[in-house]
Structure 1
Amino acid sequence: MTALAKGELYDPFLALGYQKDTKGKHLIRAYLPSAETVLFDGKNAMTRVEGTDFFEVVLPISFKIGSHYQLKWQEKGSRKWAEAYSPYSFLPQVGEMDIHLFNEGKHHHAYRFMGSHLKTVDDIEGCLFVIWAPNVKRVSLVGDFNSWDGRRHPMRAAGGSGLWELFIPGLKHGEHYKYEILSQKDQLLLKTDPYARQMALRPETASRIVEDDTYEWKDKAWQKSRASFDWQHKPISIYEVHAGSWQRPAPDEFFNWDELGDRLIPYVKNMAYTHIELMPVSEHPLDQSWGYQVTGFYAPSARQGTPDQFRAFIERCHLENIGVIIDWVPAHFPKDSFALARFNGDALYEHADPRKGEHKEWGTLIFNYGRNEVKNFLLANALYWLEEFHIDGLRVDAVASMLYLDYDRDPGEWIPNKYGGRENLEAVEFLREMNQVVHQRVPGAVTMAEESTSWPMVSRPVELGGLGFTMKWNMGWMNDNLSYIKQDPIHRKYHHNKLTFSQMYAYSENFVLPLSHDEVVHGKYSLYDKMPGDHWQKLANQRLFYAWQYAHPGKKLMFMGGEISQPEEWNEMTQLNWHAASEGDRHGVNLLVADLNKLYRDCKPLHELDFSDKGFRWIDCNDSDQSVLSLLRYDQEGNHIVCVFNFTPIPRHDYRIGIPTASDYTEILNTDSSYYSGSDCGNSDTISYEEKPWMGFEQSISITLPPLAALFLKVKK
């Protein structure tokens, strides 16, 4: 009793609930440090144990041992009475199989018993809490319901599993709580629930009790079709969005998911994107982190509302045939003392040695992927978003930092693996298992790796030696092509290989071509401002560059703001510059992106063989002197589209290219059209072919190439 009152008792059931006195009589004991008077079952006065805040009552002979009982008490200095069933009359609630699978790292739905769950036990409503905190002296629940006093609700240890549990009757949806942990070194820690499914709005850091998922989904048709989604041969055009800064009701306010959906979903549908990719939606304390410093891995951020509002947003996307991908961050977590860092007083979720457990540049910690319970936390989290929120895919952030032990480290600052190499073998196995579990349990869901190195077979099956991702971001294409387009056109002929080099490796992975948020922040300029020349040339270059992205093999991704030619860099603290986007010729870029999406979606040669060299052929990749490229895109039936690009501001008349069929052609896209605010230089409705061999083809056509523009041509029927 003394140990419990000091907050030092490992097993509270030794002192609370059913006990026997020295004479063998059965009694009930409770600890209520703020109570003046306590009644047992609402009528029998309990006696204060002298000099303590413990209260006892000898059980009547008629009382059945093991029954649940209520305590009614009056707080000191108050006339009000409180009443509740005692948590210390309930048997353990966590099953042995759950414990076993969790400790083995194989409980893929650990979130269904870990954390807080409202439930009914023996016809009594309350909340069951389960937490993993091994090697500590004591764990307690604290919250408004017990005046944040860790002595009031100490938890029961589940053997040597490291799990602690407690069922507290009477708690309801919305209650705030945390865990108070007494470490082996007598540190008193106050931690949020790693498995909390909702958190208080920052700057508050408490976890919140929420109802288990009872959302009645209306997207069954989408789910059914997604299960057989042929992602290799279907168009995937992704609009990357930061939910907090796409649009805002006021500078310091956010739209909730309902309000954002009213605006974003119709816009994305009108722009003909197939998917929205949301930058991290999990709870995070700092707006400026963009969501990548996650402190609530299972909690959609309170900035945009409740979990059910997020579910409704995703459902609305699906009903409009828009998929939803989220950024997922298993590469690191922040050092905030209220969250995962040194959770039990020592390194638990992270490695103890900073040479393996810390990203110094980012100021974050690295998960210990070799620890079963940590791996289980992350594996279950991946499935949680896919299954509980019907998310269609995960874009995995900073994969390179996971794969390499020496990532961003100088010699002597990292520890080689058991073979003496730089590969993080535990992270590799984790990623492989994650991809296998996701693809097995959620058919049709995609995983995308942001991986910036030449690690082989990132998007190849695990059974073939790959990492198992569906797709990989093509960072090489992005870097080379942005480097090229920033060049003054007069110098571009010296950098021509930056455009053509990607064909050397374009089919080694299933690539996504990303123009992401990372390229328009921190002094990198907006996409508009990267372009050389005057205002007209900047817009023309931007239109040309987007057409090049859509013609190049690979799925497409564009960060918000790029499609409206926003002049400024992205700023997460304010909404996009919609006013500038609606002004004059900038609107032409927006119109072009919408048409590119529609053309890419509806024209099979532009998407059906994105991952196969059978879908691509150069017409001429060697005209560096004039900075012109011409190519063919094919579908599985052999139909083709001709794409020609002029990367100089000089119109080129009578420019001849070879063609694969003896057919007339017609323009289906001209980025210099006046509709897109161009100069309207182009070709007539019919481009007649000639029986004149050219560039290895038996026939050819002569065309006019507009300045800083792209032409897409198809056979005229």
Structure 2
Amino acid sequence: MPGGLSEGHSVRAETGMAVAPATSVAACIPTEVLHALDEGRCGTPFEWLGPHRHGDDWYVATVAHGAAAVELVLLRDGETWPAQRFAEGVFIATLPHKPENYRLRIQRPAGKEVIGDPYAFAPLLTEGTLRAFCTGELRHPGDLLGAHVVHINDVSGVHFSVWAPNAQRVSVVGDFNQWDGRRHVMRRHDHEGLWEIFIPGVKAGALYKFELLDHNQHLLPLKADPFARQTELPPATASMVAAPLSITWHDASWMAHRASVDHERTPISIYEVHATSWQWDKSGQPLDWHALATQLIPYVQAQGFTHIELMPVTEYPFGGSWGYQPIAMYAPTARLGSPDAFARFVDSCHVAGIGVIVDWVSAHFPSDEHGLRDFDGTKLYEHRDPREGVHQDWDTLIYNYGRHEVHQYLLGSALHWMRHYHMDGLRVDAVASMLYRDYSRPEGEWIPNKHGGRENLEAIAFLQALNETVAREQSGVLVIAEESTAWPGVTRHVHEGGLGFSYKWNMGWMHDSLEYMKRDPLYRRYHHHDLTFSLVYAWSEKFLLPLSHDEVVHGKGSLIARMPGDRWRRFANLRAYFGFMWTHPGKKLLFMGGEFAQDREWHHDRPLDWHLLDDPLHRGVQQLVADLNSLLVHEPALHRCDHEPEGFQWVIGDDTHASVYAYLRFGGEGVPPILAVCNFTPEVRRNYRIGVPEGGMWRELCNTDSNHYGGSNVGNGGLIHADSQGCRGMPCSLNLVLPPLATLILRPERS
């Protein structure tokens, strides 16, 4: 018979399709179910497909569209049992005994394939796992959901699982099944809304998505896997089956030391990096993770930064979002290499003594149709009401933090980066937008909380849970808030009513100081408080001082471009400003390019202007930043009491006429104090007397006007004697020469 079918079948002349006679075999699956299986509309395929008992016999049903013939091959003795076609794509084989171990041999026009039967396997998600998922207590959901290479007995394949409680049917489609949603319909766990299937023979590297029918049986756009641990290269949008990380880690000593470090009393200076625009290779392409390891890490070491902060590396579809609209919260972007390559980059950083922080976005997600939006045809990850669920500024969607499943999805992502990639910290983006229901919304376009207030209680609970969990499970890992309002207690412990973050970006300091620096020195006297105000609230939180990417985009200009005056004065202003920043209480962050005074505003589609280092003025700023980082690390007074009022004292904070500021930094008993003096005018000020707490020789550790940095080399010769003349309540004083537009950093010489 044609197609290898057994005797006893008839063929419809109009279609050429073999049809089974009306026997007990045909009765094992009702006609309407056969049609639903054939058309991919059946949401309960495991009730019908695979091996099932029927009376005294057993049958095995399979869906194989495009097949000419299907046979059952018993591995025990090689015995074969032909399957009969009962619908265009549904084949059924009958046996007198239970098929214990078998394969399906499928004859297609392109040849034969022998595959395992996905419907012969029991579910892998246990009752305990299902209960934990349903209650939001599944701590590491990414270890179970998504796509994982597994071995069941002697069969290797991939286990897929996804949350889609309101879908009528969910299928895995991919390059292994010709993207045909009829072939691998998943098993549904009704109460939890989870779907799963084990597909034998699928390997790491396979591309896949989920095909869903909504509650009205409408076909949705193909969805990428929310728990994907790898993706194909954008603009392509498929998820990829990730192999387990194969890296051999060399950072055991780093990890052990990290767990015991008191970060509040250690130096932290962060180099913020947009990895795809830091530097390009000779062919005009961004460096991949391997090249970044060989070039970025030595550069950061030479510049003396303690950490690299990567702008988001969670996969994102639109390059212009810089990663801040991610769509795969468990997958490092394919733009720079494989997950293994990213892990090796982190390992190399740790071996070099550099921590790695990654920007992480839990505030919103993009509305791309292959992403989380309307995932199963309903508002699953987002809110139903746009007054709660849509960010008007960014045209993105807001997570529904009140859902257990969404809460654990995000928390699981955060822990994933720490557990699998040894992240030393997360910088949580746009925290303010999470905290306030009326964030950037006019009156009447937001919904109050249950108490009638503007606070987002569910987001607050999520952030507190995030910080408590990280503190408990990932000792030594930093969680840093980009929070731009006066929300109280961002870095206060959760048990004290705070949010529990390690640090908060000091956006007030950033805006005030940049506003001051862009003014002509002639008018700075009228805005003296712009640089003193930050010390009014400096101890209310544990602050990090950021000069981030946000300050050098969207027409704001680069840091050097915002400095006033001619070329020499602009560079002098920037050097003095860096001196002020590095001696001000708080940890430090500088966006790439700022360390050598990049002229142009940053753009994500081009590399930094490294040729500027041929210019001595640009090279001088770069050297200054390296020297300031060295001082930060080696002078305890500059970092040990960053968050304690005892660590700072004004010496001169009211000389508005001269625009001079002087202050002391202390590092505790036995630590020499540091004196910082800033002159923010182009006037050289001679015989400027400043009180100090002790006499003897004071060493000029740094003078931003030094000719090493491109300055005019006005200064105090390196050593200055503090005499016994009291000044401003201090027992001794220094009679200094203050260079123009410069910061001096001095320390007493103690035997």
Could you say which TM-score interval applies, normalised by the shorter chain?
A: over 0.9
Say if 2:95 is the partner of 1:59. yes
Q: Which amino acid aligns with 1:56?
A: I
2:714 is equivalent to residue 678 of structure 1: no
Q: Which residue of 1 aligns with 2:83?
A: 47
Correspondent of 1:368 among 381, 387, 400: 400
**Residue 684 of structure 2 aligns to which amino acid in structure 1?**
P
Corresponding position of 2:189 = 158
Q: Helix, strand or coil for the counterpart of 2:198?
A: strand
1:695 equivalent to 2:728? Answer yes
Alignment of 1:585-596 (within 5 A): 585-596=617-628
The residue aligned with 1:583 is 615
Partner of 2:451: 419
Q: Distance in 1 between matches of 2:705 and 2:209?
A: 59
TM-score, structure 1 length as denominator? 0.98
Choose the corresponding residue for 1:266, options 298, 301, 311: 298
Contact 1:40–1:71 under 8 Å retained in 2: yes
Secondary structure of the residue aligned to 2:68 is: strand
The separation in 2 between residues aligned to 1:420 and 1:553, in whole angstroms, is: 38
Q: In the aligned structure 2, how far is the partner of 1:58 from the partner of 1:47?
A: 7
| Aligned with 1:117 (options 144, 148, 156) | 148
For 1:686 and 1:653, the matched residues in 2 are separated by 16
Instruction: Please give the alpha-carbon distance, in whole angstroms, between the structure 2 residues aligned to 1:282 and 1:405.
Output: 26
Which of 44, 53, 59 in structure 2 is aligned with 1:11? 44
Whole-angstrom CA distance in 2 between matches of 1:71 and 1:492: 81
Question: Residue 114 of structure 2: which of 83, 86, 104 is its match?
Answer: 83
Letter in 2 for 1:54: V
Query: Partners in 2 of 1:227 and 1:582 — Cα distance?
Result: 42
**In the alignment, is residue 525 of structure 1 matched against residue 557 of structure 2?**
yes
Displacement of 1:248 in angstroms is 1.2
Q: SS of the residue aligned with 1:611?
A: coil
Residue number among 330, 339, 346 corresponding to 1:314 in the alignment = 346
Instruction: Quote how far apart the aligned CAs of 1:181 are.
Output: 0.6
Partner of 2:632: 600
Within 5 Å, give how 1:335-346 maps onto structure 2.
335-346=367-378
Q: Is residue 2:650 matched to residue 1:650?
A: no
Q: Which of 609, 613, 620 is the equivalent residue of 2:641?
A: 609
**Partners of 1:563 and 1:253 in 2: CA distance:** 23
RMSD of equivalent CA atoms: 1.2
Q: Does 1:138 align with 2:155?
A: no
| Equivalent in 547, 554, 558 of residue 586 of structure 2 | 554
Question: What is the 5 A alignment of 1:41-440?
Answer: 41=73, 44-61=80-97, 64-65=98-99, 67-75=100-108, 77-78=109-110, 80-189=111-220, 190-249=222-281, 253-440=285-472
Q: 1:185 to 1:582 in 2, by over 3 A?
A: farther
Report the alpha carbon displacement of residue 256 of structure 1 after superposing the two structures with TM. Answer: 1.3
Look up the SS of the partner of 2:541 in the other structure.
Answer: coil
Q: TM-score, normalised by structure 2?
A: 0.93
1:567 corresponds to which of 583, 599, 614: 599
Q: Which moved more, 1:431-440 or 1:41-50?
A: 41-50
- Aligned-partner SS, 1:418: coil
Equivalent in 659, 672, 675 of residue 692 of structure 2:
659
Partners of 1:251 and 1:574 within 8 A in 2: no
Distance 2:571 2:173 in 1: 58
CA distance in 1, matches of 2:144, 2:739: 63
Asked if structure 2 preserves the Cα contact closer than 8 Å seen for 1:457 and 1:509, the reply is: yes
Q: Is the 8 A contact 1:507 1:612 kept in 2?
A: yes
Aligned residue identity for 1:150: G
- Deviation of 1:25 after TM superposition, in Å, equals 2.2
Aligned mates of 1:686, 1:334 — CA distance in 2: 58
CA positional deviation for 1:34: 1.3
Please state how far the C-alpha of 1:210 moved relative to its aligned partner.
Answer: 1.3
Range 552-561 or range 656-665, more displaced: 656-665
Matched, 1:710 2:743: yes
- List runs of 5+ in structure 2 lacking aligned partners: 1-33
**Deviation of 1:469 (Å):** 0.3
Measure, in 2, the Cα distance between the counterparts of 1:248 and 1:43.
60
Match of 2:531 in 1: 499
Query: Deviation digits for residues 510-553 of structure 1, max 9, x if unmatched?
Result: 00000000000010010000000011000000000001000100
Does the Cα contact within 8 Å between 1:46 and 1:55 map onto a contact in 2?
no
Structure 1 residue 86, shift from structure 2 partner:
0.3
- In structure 2, the residue corresponding to 1:150 is in which secondary structure? coil
Per the alignment, in what secondary structure is the counterpart of residue 512 of structure 2? helix
Q: Distance in 2 between matches of 1:194 and 1:685?
A: 59
Determine if contact 1:474/1:511 at 8 Å carries over to the other structure.
yes
Q: Which residue does 1:32 correspond to in 2? A: 64
For the 8 Å contact 2:437–2:454, the answer to whether it is kept is: yes
Displacement of 1:148 in angstroms is 0.5
* Distance change (3 Å), C-alpha of 1:51 and 1:162: closer
Give 2:139's aligned amino acid: H
Structure 1 portions without partners, runs of 5+: none
CA contact (8 A) 2:672 2:747 kept: no
The structural deviation recorded for 1:250 is 5.5
Aligned mates of 1:611, 1:512 — CA distance in 2: 10
Percent identical pairs in the alignment equals 48
CA displacement at 1:103 relative to structure 2: 1.3
Structure 2 contact 83–94 (Cα < 8 Å) conserved:
no
Comparing 644-653 and 44-53, the one that deviates more: 44-53
SS where residue 111 of structure 1 aligns?
A: helix
Partner Cα separation in structure 1 for residue 180 and residue 271 of structure 2 = 47
Rounded Cα–Cα distance in structure 2 between residues aligned with 1:415 and 1:68:
58
Question: What is the letter of the counterpart of residue 10 of structure 1?
Answer: G
Q: Is the 8 A contact 1:566 1:581 kept in 2?
A: no
Q: Which moved more, 1:153-162 or 1:671-680?
A: 153-162
Could you tell me how far apart the structure 1 residues matched to 2:565 and 2:715 are?
A: 22
Distance 1:422 1:230, change over 3 A: same
What residue in structure 2 maps to residue 445 of structure 1?
477
- Aligned CA distance change for structure 1 residues 183 and 689 (closer, same or farther; 3 Å): same
Instruction: Judge conservation of contact 1:405–1:422 (CA < 8 Å) in 2.
Output: yes
The alpha carbon displacement at 1:214 in A equals 3.9
Letter of the aligned partner of 2:599 in structure 1? P
Report the 3-state secondary structure (helix = DSSP H, G, I; strand = E; otherwise coil) of the residue aligned with 1:529: helix
Secondary structure at the residue paired with 2:210? strand
Structure 1 counterpart SS, 2:168 = strand
Contact 1:68–1:86 (Cα < 8 Å) also in 2: no
Counterparts of 2:459 and 2:719, CA distance in 1 = 57
Distance 2:733 2:288 in 1: 56
Partner deviation per Cα, 1:638-659 (whole Å, 9 max, x = no partner): 5201110000001001100111
Moved over 3 A (4+): none
Q: One-letter code of the match for 1:125?
A: S
Q: Deviations over 1:454-509 (max 9, x none)?
A: 00000010000000000000000000000000000000000000000111100100
Cα shift readout 1:532-580 (whole Å, capped 9, x = no counterpart): 0011000000000001000100000000000010000001000000012
Deviation at 1:50, TM superposition (A): 4.2
2:589 partner SS: strand
Give the Cα–Cα distance (whole angstroms) in 2 for the partners of residues 185 and 705 of structure 1.
76
Q: Deviations over 1:610-649 (max 9, x none)?
A: 0001100000100010000000000011520111000000
Which amino acid in 1 is paired with 2:195? W
Amino acid of the structure 1 residue aligned with 2:134: N
Compute the displacement of 1:60 (Å): 4.1
Residues 252 and 157 (structure 1), Cα distance of their counterparts in 2 relative to 1, 3 Å cut: farther
